Amino acid sequence: MGICFATPAKSDPLKGFGTKVVPGNAKQSPNTKNQQTNPAAMGDAFLAASPGDLSVLRSLKSFTFTELKNATKNFSPDNLIGEGGFGFVFKGWVNESTLSSTRPGSGTVVAVKKVKSQSFQGHREWLTEVRYLGQLRHENLVKLIGYCSEPKNRMLVYEFMAKGSLENHLFKKGIHPMTWPIRMQIATDIARGLSFLHSLNANVIYRDLKASNILIDSKFHAKLSDFGLARKGPIGDGTHVSTRVVGTMGYAAPEYVASGHLTPKSDVYSFGVVLLELLSGRRAMGDETIGGPTATLVEWALQFLGEGKQFSRIMDTRLRGEYSKRGAQAASLLAFRCLHMDPKNRPTMVEVLAQLEMQQAVQSSPQAKLEHRIRTLSTHRSH
């Protein structure tokens, strides 16, 4: 089994609208080889596959290449907001009511992901995104508005997320650090999205949770994007899904990396990593403050996590101490549970969400707000 990982990028090239996972060396059937030489054929087969598949597409707007060309001002470099191994993402504009293209600067802003015509992996992920985001609707999933299925012009059209990716807000130099309440709001939003995916109605394993795939709207609410690697969860008495290992180093669960056994608890582990990033302001892998390019955040942070440990050692210094000590301790213990080596001992995302929502309620109480105000004033005076 080929293990195919991408290392976390230093920048956020696709603003969360793509991945950098390389296809593995799994054996291919003759049909697969033909599809790889002609990736467009894979899309055509899907579009006419079955009534069920077509019903998914009816909920989406079918755009022509010309419409999206006009919406993005001929895919102008001025409207380019990201690029990656499988394509480019452009800002575009459509009419709010009809979703037809409109002149740049008017109507509703959208994000248009254009798949490179010769990228087999890109076309495969295009199909997966249409399948899942065409069916699933939730406040914490980025909305897929439509698609273009012309043979050499596979595109996806999403709602535009004004604040970009979580990766940018945590790690890009020059961006004002997010406050503690916003970080916990984002953690809760992520947990809510994953909890929905893991529900019986959806039964989806996300498989690629990372800071660059979490997008932020104008009100700093988070949504999961890029479903190109998503998989259907186990059914019946099944405990896991066996699959080729793909993902991003530093985020993937150890048992998944070792065996290819994918379960909802694999997403729980990845959530624990993202929660550590929110707490510490450090990258999942390769952060200079934890030991260089091969060091992982989990390995570094575990020495400070758990009952009786000095959790404050992991906290982002840019917060300047302006966070709830009880809330931070609870969040660090939650991350510790999510990162347990044995997936059976990790909480479910329903349990994670319940704890975060309870903590949010506590922090929103009048007493907690007063304590935060006093602590903030005290911190500013000491500086």
List, for residues 120-163, the tens digit of each pLDDT value. 677 888 888 888 998 899 999 999 999 998 888 999 999 999 99
Q: Which residue has the higher pLDDT, 50 or 199?
A: 199
- Residue 368's pLDDT is 59
Least trusted range by pLDDT, from 1-5, 26-30, 170-174, 369-373: 26-30
Q: Is pLDDT of 21 > 70?
A: no
Q: What distance in Å separates the CA atoms of residue 223 and residue 211, rounded to the nearest whole number? A: 11
Q: What distance in Å separates the CA atoms of residue 153 and residue 145, rounded to the nearest whole number? A: 17
Check the annotation: does 265 bind a ligand. Answer: no
- Residue 378's pLDDT is 55
Q: Which residue has the higher pLDDT, 366 or 308?
A: 308
Q: Where residue 40 falls among pLDDT bands split at 50, 70, 90?
A: very low
- Residue 20's pLDDT is 34
Name the 3-class secondary structure at 284.
coil
Q: Is pLDDT of 197 > 60?
A: yes
Distances (CA, A) of 351 to 11, 191, 274, 341: 32, 9, 17, 18
Is 226 known to be catalytic?
no
Q: Where residue 105 falls among pLDDT bands split at 50, 70, 90?
A: confident
Catalytic residue among 12, 189, 208, 226: 208
Q: What distance in Å separates the CA atoms of residue 324 and residue 287, rounded to the nearest whole number? A: 25
Identify which of 331, 188, 248, 271 has the alpha carbon closest to the alpha carbon of residue 8: 248
Residue 231 neighbours by CB under 8 Å, 6+ apart:
204, 205, 207, 241, 243, 262
User: Which two tokens mark 231?
Assistant: 């998989």
Which domains can be identified in the chain, with CATH numbers?
17-159 (3.30.200.20), 166-382 (1.10.510.10)
User: pLDDT tens digits, residue range 292-303?
Assistant: 788 899 999 999
Average pLDDT of the segment spanning 155-179: 94
HSE, CB side, 13 Å, CA atoms: give it for residue 115. 29
- Residue 241's pLDDT is 87
Distances (CA, A) of 15 to 99, 193, 216, 247, 311: 23, 18, 10, 17, 31
Distances (CA, A) of 193 to 8, 36, 206: 22, 33, 10
Pairing of strands 87-94, 108-115: antiparallel
**Number of neighbours of residue 302 by Cβ within 10 angstroms:** 16
Least trusted range by pLDDT, from 97-106, 263-272, 369-378: 369-378
State the Cα torsion 368-373-375-380 to the nearest 10°.
160
Q: Which residue has the higher pLDDT, 211 or 245?
A: 211
Q: What distance in Å separates the CA atoms of residue 179 and residue 321, rounded to the nearest whole number? A: 11
- Residue 86's pLDDT is 72
Average pLDDT value for the chain? 83
User: pLDDT tens digits, residue range 228-274?
Assistant: 899 999 887 778 888 888 889 999 999 999 999 999 999 999 999 99
> Taking the model in full, what pTM does it have?
0.83
